[in-house]
């Protein structure tokens, strides 16, 4: 009889399975720590980061003149992956994501953020990569009770069930407060080495980051999605309302991030550049819109969207003059362009008192 | 970050990818798609307006095993070079 330790059929002699986990990496501290906790156990980790079109990744920095003390723009998940030394799959889901934003089964959070539907969608989408990548289970950096919608205790099982990953989604940062998952039951992951974080406090995460030597991570207050932003959501709601349908294009959602938006009438709105960089950025979106700028003076580029009549265009010109250097002059000459055709209009800048606050979106 | 020295000769690109006006992370997503069919060692040049490329391109190379060859500012545009790993 063979000694158990040399018997190829006994578990002790079988080569140890190299466990492979795929994580959802936002680039924030929690998802980095979740990855790191698994890596500590010798688990092979790769991550995925989804581009929804609403991701906040230094877009403002790319559209506007840089602030003197601004942090240089970067893609946080990419840099987190670099820091962790792992592979990152960047996946563009912007087109598929439209139905999540326009018709979320679980509704919106305090703004137009469909957080629960979003998490379910992303988990399911990550799981759909299983066959191609060959990972064993999924993980996220969720912390029980940290976020009001997607991280409430009663919602966590919904996420797994609706995403079709029941038992295969591990949350290393709060695992010890949750039911054991399949990777834990199978002995692939040592539950004792996971954490039981809960609530909105950040101290345990910061202590763990210190322990791991992770210092270069984004501020938790930063947020990662424009849909959680009240101003952005108001502009998107306005767009849906006046178009008469809940739909958007990729160009729409980019434009909602740029400029000052005003709606003087239901049939048209204007977008006004706030600095030179933003004017240049908006200039790339002239196609299909009216573009207005002062002919002889410095000032913003204004885009006009909708179905303005001639009188509306004059009003838009007066507004454009208001935001330019000629605001105190009796009259300003404006150039109006559309489809390569140009005309000029001489207008009186609109006094600030004649701009109702409700025009501002 | 390694930046191409203006004195040095620019790498000879096999493919030029124009991602001007696209915002992060689209320049990197497009670069990923563009580099996929290239042979190992082939050089991809990425022309962008998003200043984030200056930090993201080297990070992407490091994560995906490509070689970052340098980056140059051209007025309001940036051009970066990557050799496929």
Would you state the pLDDT for residue A225? 86
Omega within 30 of 0 (cis) for the link into B25: yes
Task: With beta carbons less than 8 A apart as the criterion, state whether B45 and B83 touch.
Answer: no
Cβ B28–A75 below 8 Å, yes or no? yes
Confidence of residue A71 (pLDDT cuts 50, 70, 90): low
Active centre residues of B (catalytic): 24
Chain B residues at the A interface, defined by Cβ less than 8 Å, are: 21, 23-26, 28-29, 32, 49-52, 54-56, 59-60, 62-64, 76
Per-residue model confidence as pLDDT tens digits over A258-317? 999 999 999 999 999 999 989 999 999 999 999 999 999 989 999 999 999 999 999 999
How far, in Å, CA of B63 to CA of B57, rounded?
10
Q: Find the radius of gyration of the CA atoms of chain A.
A: 26
Would you state the pLDDT for residue A60? 60
The residue of chain A with its CA nearest to that of B27 is A75
Q: In what order do the strands lie in the sheet with A137-139?
A: A87-92, A44-51, A20-24, A137-139, A169-170
Would you state the pLDDT for residue B62? 95
Whether the per-residue pLDDT at A62 is higher than 70: the answer is no
Q: Taking residues A115-131, what's their average pLDDT?
A: 96
Would you state the pLDDT for residue A154? 76
Confidence of residue A74 (pLDDT cuts 50, 70, 90): confident
The residue of chain B with its CA nearest to that of A90 is B29
Per-residue model confidence as pLDDT tens digits over A180-235? 999 999 999 999 999 999 988 889 999 999 999 998 887 665 567 899 999 999 99
How far, in Å, CA of A296 to CA of B62, rounded?
48
Cβ A72–B59 below 8 Å, yes or no? no
CA end-to-end span of chain A: 81
Measured in whole angstroms, how far is the alpha carbon of residue B65 from the centre of its chain?
14
- From the CA of A62, how many Å to the nearest CA of chain B? 5
Whether the per-residue pLDDT at A344 is higher than 80: the answer is yes
How far, in Å, CA of A130 to CA of A150, rounded?
23
Would you state the pLDDT for residue A149? 62
Would you state the pLDDT for residue A3? 45
In the structure encoding, which two tokens stand for residue A92, read together? 């563009």
Confidence of residue B14 (pLDDT cuts 50, 70, 90): very high
Cβ A78–B26 below 8 Å, yes or no? no
Task: With beta carbons less than 8 A apart as the criterion, state whether A94 and B22 touch.
Answer: no
Cβ B25–A72 below 8 Å, yes or no? no
Per-residue model confidence as pLDDT tens digits over A31-56? 999 999 999 999 999 999 999 999 87
Of residues B24, B62, B63, nearest to A57 (C-beta): B24
HSE at residue A243, side-chain half, CA atoms within 13 A, is 13
C-alpha distances in Å from residue A38, one per residue of A21, A26, A34, A170, A190: 8, 16, 7, 10, 9
Of residues B25, B59, B76, nearest to A57 (C-beta): B25
Per-residue model confidence as pLDDT tens digits over B31-69? 999 999 999 999 999 999 988 999 999 999 999 999 999
Whether the per-residue pLDDT at A7 is higher than 50: the answer is no
Confidence of residue A2 (pLDDT cuts 50, 70, 90): very low
How far, in Å, CA of B28 to CA of A89, rounded?
11
Cβ A90–B64 below 8 Å, yes or no? no
Would you state the pLDDT for residue A215? 86
Percent of chain A with pLDDT over 70: 89
Of the listed ranges A79-83, A323-327, B4-8, B61-65, the least confidently predicted one is B4-8
Identify which has the larger pLDDT, A156 or B3.
Answer: A156
Would you state the pLDDT for residue A17? 84
Confidence of residue A6 (pLDDT cuts 50, 70, 90): very low
How far, in Å, CA of A299 to CA of B69, rounded?
39
The residue of chain A with its CA nearest to that of B20 is A284
Confidence of residue A14 (pLDDT cuts 50, 70, 90): low
Residue reference for tokens 């005003």: A262
How far, in Å, CA of A51 to CA of A199, rounded?
27
How far, in Å, CA of A243 to CA of A339, rounded?
22
HSE at residue A308, side-chain half, CA atoms within 13 A, is 23
Would you state the pLDDT for residue B6? 47
The residue of chain B with its CA nearest to that of A258 is B23
Q: Buried b vs exposed e over B1-10: b needs ≥16 C-beta within 10 Å?
A: eeebeeeeee
Cβ B59–A74 below 8 Å, yes or no? yes
pTM > 0.80: yes or no: yes
Task: With beta carbons less than 8 A apart as the criterion, state whether A24 and A124 touch.
Answer: no
Task: With beta carbons less than 8 A apart as the criterion, state whether A34 and A23 touch.
Answer: yes
Average pLDDT, chain A: 90
């Amino acid at each position: 009889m063979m000694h158990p330790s040399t018997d190829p059929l006994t578990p002790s002699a079988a080569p140890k399975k190299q466990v492979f986990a795929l994580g959802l990496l936002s680039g924030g501290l929690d998802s980095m720590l979740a990855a790191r906790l698994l890596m500590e156990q010798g688990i092979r980790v790769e991550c995925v980061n989804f581009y929804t079109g609403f991701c906040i990744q230094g877009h403002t920095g790319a559209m506007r003149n840089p602030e003197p003390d601004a942090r240089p723009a970067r893609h946080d998940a990419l840099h987190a992956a670099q820091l962790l030394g792992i592979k990152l799959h960047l996946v563009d889901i912007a087109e598929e994501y439209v139905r999540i934003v326009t018709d979320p089964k679980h509704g919106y959070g305090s703004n137009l953020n469909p957080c629960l539907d979003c998490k379910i969608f992303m988990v399911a989408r990550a799981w759909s990569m299983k066959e191609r990548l060959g990972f064993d289970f999924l993980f996220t950096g969720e912390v029980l009770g940290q976020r009001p919608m997607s991280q409430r205790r009663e919602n966590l099982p919904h996420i797994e069930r609706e995403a079709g990953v029941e038992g295969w989604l591990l949350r290393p940062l709060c695992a010890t407060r949750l039911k054991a998952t399949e990777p834990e039951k199978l002995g692939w992951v040592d539950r004792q080495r996971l954490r039981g974080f809960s609530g909105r406090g950040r101290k345990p995460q910061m202590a763990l980051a210190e322990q791991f030597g992770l210092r270069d991570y984004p501020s938790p207050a930063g947020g990662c999605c424009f849909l959680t932003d009240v101003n952005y959501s108001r502009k998107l709601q306005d767009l849906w309302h006046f178009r008469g349908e809940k739909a958007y294009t990729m160009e729409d959602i980019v434009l909602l991030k740029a400029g000052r938006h005003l709606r003087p009438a239901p049939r048209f709105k204007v977008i006004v550049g706030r600095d030179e960089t933003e004017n240049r950025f908006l200039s790339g979106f002239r196609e299909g819109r009216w573009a207005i700028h002062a002919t002889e003076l410095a000032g913003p580029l204004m885009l006009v969207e909708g179905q303005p009549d001639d009188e509306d265009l004059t009003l838009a010109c007066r507004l454009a003059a208001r935001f330019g250097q000629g605001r105190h002059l009796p009259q300003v000459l404006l150039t109006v362009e559309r489809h390569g055709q140009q005309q000029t209009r001489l207008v009186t800048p609109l006094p600030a008192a004649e701009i109702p606050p409700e025009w501002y979106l | 970050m390694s930046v191409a020295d203006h004195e040095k000769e620019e790498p000879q690109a096999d493919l030029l990818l124009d991602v001007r006006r696209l915002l992060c992370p689209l320049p990197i997503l497009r670069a990923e798609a563009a580099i996929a069919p290239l042979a190992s060692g082939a050089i991809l040049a990425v022309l962008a307006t998003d200043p984030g490329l200056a930090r993201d391109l080297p990070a992407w190379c490091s994560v995906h095993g490509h070689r970052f060859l340098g980056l140059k500012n051209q007025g309001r545009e940036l051009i970066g070079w990557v050799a496929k790993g």
